[in-house]
Amino acid sequence: MPPQTFNLKLEYRIFAAIKRMNKYNRNKICILQIIVPLHHDKTKRKINSPTEYKMTRVIKFTKMHGAGNDYIYVNTLKYPIESPEKLSVEWSAPHTGIGSDGLVLIGRSDKADFSMRIFNADGSEAKMCGNASRCIGKYLYEYGLTSQTAVTLDTLSGIKILKLHVKDGKVNTVTVDMGRPTDMKEQPIEANGQKFTGTTVSMGNPHLVIFVEDIKDINLESIGPKLENHPLFPDRINVEFAQVLEDGKIRMRVWERGSGITQACGTGACATAVAAALTGKSERKTDIIMDGGSLAIEWDEKTDHVWMTGEAVRVFDGEMIINDE
């Protein structure tokens, strides 16, 4: 755009008109902001660069959590997002953003009813998240995107089936078919001068499960990043420390790849249950207790599929203004 000269006669009624337009049409239009220096005189001024124009949009989001594993959810059918990696870092920040474990995008799919993309707090993309899939089930039903109680979800780790348990028009819990576990292997590993025996399990994303006598003795903040970035795992790995309790339930804490310590991890809970069954520490059906809550996990012997059941909670709705480059 060539330099143009404007006679700046900005009046309050113009700003009021722009605000009214923004309020009633914010979902449909972009707001053109003309950035100019303010002067006391009324002479002609020049806008010398097209970079002085910014296009802004309002994005509506919903903050949700499953067992304390919280994400920001955006319906990209209405609010397309071009740079989710960047926004996930900015919005996940606890003090300067919304605060979350990452960003989840709900979209279209030609393979399933809907699609899910997950971005961690560091901007990296995850293949699967069990807690996020349950929250998406609740979102789809309660925000009117579906009236079905069985929904298919297209993820980077395949198609997942969500079974919504509805009472009085609200989704209380969701059961997710997490598929078959793969890449199961027990192996020794050392980090921070400590030696462990861990079990690797993939639930669409990789996990290292380590059983200990007392989980309180584990400094997860220190050992977590060492194991996540261990040379044995060039693509990094999620890390779970677990303790089998007297009642057969399993207490677990998680260090998530790309996010660090989180309140819960759905795929991590599934991996922990599978590892426990593989090593004879529990039956195929158990409860996994995490910092943020519990999940019921069943590794079905007939189908070899892992089923996860747990709550999904809406925290609040909000809006963010983004600048389109």
Instruction: Give the strand pairing for 69-75 and 102-107.
Output: parallel
Q: Give the span between the Cα atoms of 314 and 61, in whole angstroms.
A: 11
Domain 182-304: which topology?
Diaminopimelate Epimerase; Chain A, domain 1 (3.10.310)
**Local structure of 272: helix, strand or coil:** helix
pTM of whole model > 0.95? no
Catalytic residue list contains 270: no
Q: Which residues contact 36 (CB under 8 A, 6 or more apart)?
A: 6, 8, 45, 47, 52
Domains 63-179 and 182-304 share a fold: yes
Domain boundaries, the chain: 4-48, 63-179, 182-304
23-41 pLDDT, tens digit per residue, is: 444 444 443 343 333 333 3
Tell me the two tokens of residue 183.
């890449």
Tell me the two tokens of residue 28.
């449909």
Options 30, 129, 135, 270, the catalytic residue: 129
Q: Give the span between the Cα atoms of 41 and 28, in whole angstroms.
A: 36
Cβ atoms of 135 and 118 closer than 8 Å: no
Cβ atoms of 55 and 323 closer than 8 Å: yes
Pick the residue with more confidence: 36 or 104?
A: 104
Q: Give the span between the Cα atoms of 18 and 31, in whole angstroms.
A: 8
130-184 pLDDT, tens digit per residue, is: 999 999 999 999 999 999 999 999 999 999 999 999 999 999 999 999 999 999 9
Is the C-alpha dihedral spanning 139, 145, 150, 154 positive or negative?
negative
Cβ atoms of 98 and 72 closer than 8 Å: yes
Catalytic residue list contains 265: yes
* CATH 3.40.50.720 correct for 63-179: no
239-254 pLDDT, tens digit per residue, is: 999 999 999 999 999 9
Q: How many CB atoms lie within 10 A of CB 298?
A: 17
